[in-house]
Structure 1
Amino acid sequence: MRILGIESSCDETGIAIYDDEQGLLAHQLYSQVKVHADYGGVVPELASRDHVRKTIPLIEDAFKQADCGPEDLDGVAYTAGPGLVGALLVGSSIGRSLAYGWNVPAVAVHHMEGHLLAPMLDEDVPEFPFIALLVSGGHSMIVKVDGIGQYTILGESIDDAAGEAFDKTAKLLGLDYPGGPLLAKLAEKGEPEVYRFPRPMTDRPGLDMSFSGLKTFAANTINSEKDENGEISEQVKANIAHAFQTAVIDTLVIKCKRALKEHNIKRLVIAGGVSANVYLRETLQKVMTGMQGRVYYPRTEFCTDNGAMIAYAGMQRLKAKQYAPMDMRAKPRWPLDELEAI
């Protein structure tokens, strides 16, 4: 079976073609970073318009890359939520319309399920059950995964997601958009133990997280270090970035260890944009080695939003005959644990 995947939940247009026997046949991705850079963040209306311009040309490129056409497809998968409603509507309407025109089933995919299953695109895949840490610009959650569609949310951020906190703190430091990866790069130049940031909600039971306070702590630290001209040195910025990143990663690691021990599981999956963070990967690798467990994560190219993860997740739903209804819907809010099990 072969499926086309369309991702358009935010500021990346991702297209992929996946075959259940041959694997990933095509992968096309367009980032809107330049579109939103001048505004310091994603402008929803501009994002929607850019998806309109880019989706069909990328689909055509994917067919060329895979050396196939619509007649070779068994279904079309698209991101139905969560995300920016306008952006979702573009992908949903195109995906639903193409499926109708090509007379194949349409499959509505949950964006976070796509991230959660992204490590399955590699040959070495985790067995069920496992604990998943999903960390991106819009979501931070810890999930117990017993199978596809069998998700129990153990904890999530009660305010800013980890990626959102990275981006906001980067902006406070005067870094360009998108700031998260730039802050992580700056943190490599920082001196350890110069600043000590709190590890929020780690001194109490439970697996929920909070990162907005860290952003505020960073803002206060930045203001306290400004000179009479309102400036701070690059080394001070690096030191603050290092302290901030360490606090966020430590918090995530503490929560993951707690979840793994509580459920007696030794397999951990990390996915989402923040899962590309090198310090997070290195730290969790050490932790899982110490626990005699294993950590799995997607290839770097599949950490951020992409069509490949939507195509893979869509294939699983297609095989289970869980098709989208004829009326096209987008769900800007869509709890992960509401999905139907396979």
Structure 2
Amino acid sequence: MSVKPSFRVAILGATGMVGQWLVHLLDHHPWFRVVALTGSDRSVGRPYGEACRWLLGAPMPEWAAQMIVRPTEPELDAEIVISALPSEIAREVEPRFAAAGYLVASNASAYRMAEDVPLVMPDVNFDHIGLIARQRATRNWSGTLLTNPNCTTTAAVLPLKALMPYGVRRVHLVSLQALSGAGYPGVPSLEIVDNILPYIPGEEEKLEREPRKLLGRFVDGAVEEAGLVISAQTNRVPTLDGHLVCISVELEEAISPEETMRAMRGYRPPEEVADLPSAVAQPIVVRTEPDRPQPRLDRMAGDGMSVVVGRVQRCPVFTLKFVALTHNTIRGAAGAALFNAEAALRWMGKV
């Protein structure tokens, strides 16, 4: 478009960790202008700067600090809502916004696996946004609800997408997930300092299901899930940001580590989304050093929107093994929902 589009955006659940990242990422966004921030009953009616315990290193934008927190009700003067709500609240609230005509880009898990709700990473399965047509017809609403995947799923799916032409059969993955993934106040220090927690409720089930939908085919208005089998084990570790995933993959075609790295380096987003504000030219960054990726050194690759892959090797059990890293609160959460909102507008022909 010759003139920059302008859309009014509300952030639902703006005082939490993901909500704060959305405030930060939307500051000076070229298309979006934040017109409303919502929060819980204890925050409503207070200035955001007073209601929010700001946890990011970057300063809170002045416009956000002065904005009065609103109730999370579909009475907002916005076209788009980006939801950082907890799943139990999102399950009840988000459909009401979609029924009221809003475009809802959700970070919550509540509707990810619903048959008529797109589960989207725009640089992986942009065409799945086509489920919107079925959703509107089925639910008889004028708005839209689409979701992004679990933050750890993101780290696995992008490199697996690059390997799909070689026939992905089976995947085993082990995650080392950062503290910020648990939100604030998160995990008590006495549980995580000098420790690793080998269980995160609900995470393994998400990692075993979501990639099959994301990597599936959109056919005749529905998603046919990919046939791969996934086994996942999840762990909480004492890093602040950046989920690291150790992945072993069995392929139909036994390609070499060198071919694997070329395929990942060469992977590019679909043409439809390549110029969106949140898109990165290189979704997968490949490192060849023996000790990379590392959360502290690599999580901000692509401004936090790239997945970083390293330690690509032959696997004595499967075909290949490698390590993947994602910034869980940017690419895995706030940035993912923002990217989805942009992609939905592209699919609708509004940008």
TM-score scaled by length of structure 2: 0.34
User: Rg larger in 1 or in 2?
Assistant: 1
Higher helix share goes to which structure?
Answer: 1
| TM score, norm. by length of structure 1 | 0.35
